Amino acid sequence: EETSDPAPMALSDLRKLTTFKAYSSEDVFDVFAQQTDYRGMISRQGFYSAICNFLSPTEGKLQEYMFEFAKYLSTTLFNSYISAESEDEELVDFSEICSGLSVLCGGSRDDKARAAFSLFDVNGTSTISLFDLSVYLTSVFRLLFWLRPAVQRQNRITAEELGVKTSREAFEEIGLADDDGLTFEQFKNWYEESGVEGEGGEEEEVE
């Protein structure tokens, strides 16, 4: 059975089209947080509304194209974040989808690492678990595999499998046991060395 892939797109192009590269991760997260319900979930319509919030005011065919692009993301990219265990195909987890979107944002690597870390340090302990790191990485790989589905098929690995594998490798490299907590400084150092931002992950000035 043939699969229908989205047209290949560079990460740098997605940064430009969404305009996220002009905003800090925290600014982007705040907009999506406004669309999040009490369970920490975002609906498909909420995701679309949040995307549209960043589109530059335009007229005519360009405006029509940008809103069609937002609809496209709300269908294809949104679907990549629907959990296999989810009972509702119209909801995705705020922390997971923002983890993926964080690689599109502007700002320094330190700022992006801090914003990504804060998504999982919900108790304010200044540490995250191995499970948290695997969820974060899985979410990033979901976006990267959405951009390049052929890469996923060629490597015969899912975003979830790669997220678990990479997080375990990170803990081993740092010298942590599975039940240890990963501090922000450890996460930041790993984040800067790992290349998790993908191609075109240079620092961007934000508005």
Helix intervals (H) in the chain: 11-18, 25-33, 44-53, 60-80, 94-101, 109-118, 130-147, 149-155, 159-174, 184-194
Question: pLDDT by residue (tens digit) across 127-146?
Answer: 999 999 999 999 999 999 99
Question: pLDDT by residue (tens digit) across 142-190?
Answer: 999 998 888 778 888 899 999 999 999 999 999 999 999 999 999 999 8
Q: What amino acid occupies position 179?
A: D
This prediction has a pTM of: 0.86
Residue 199 has pLDDT above 60, yes or no: no
Q: What is the pLDDT of residue 81?
A: 93
Q: Higher confidence at residue 206 or residue 126? A: 126
Q: What torsion do the CA atoms of 127, 130, 136, 137 make, to the nearest 10 degrees? A: 130
Q: What is the pLDDT of residue 1?
A: 40
Q: What is the pLDDT of residue 2?
A: 42
Q: Are strands 127-128 and 41-43 parallel, antiparallel or unpaired?
A: unpaired
Instruction: Give whole-number Cα distances, 155 to 47, 162, 165, 174, in Å.
Output: 30, 10, 13, 26
Distance CA(122)–CA(117), nearest Å, equals 9
Q: Which residue shows structure tokens 């490798």?
A: 169
Q: Comparing C-alpha atoms, which of 130, 105, 133 is closest to residue 117?
A: 133
Q: What is the pLDDT of residue 202?
A: 52
Question: pLDDT by residue (tens digit) across 81-124?
Answer: 997 666 677 899 999 999 999 999 998 888 888 999 999 998 88
Residue 59 has pLDDT above 70, yes or no: no
4 in helix, strand or coil? coil
For the chain, the average pLDDT equals 86
- In the chain, % of residues over pLDDT 70: 85
Query: Among 11-15, 31-35, 180-184, 201-205, which stretch is predicted with the lowest mean pLDDT?
Result: 201-205
* Residue 124, C-beta contacts closer than 8 angstroms, at least 6 positions apart: none
- In the chain, % of residues over pLDDT 90: 57
Distance CA(85)–CA(132), nearest Å, equals 18
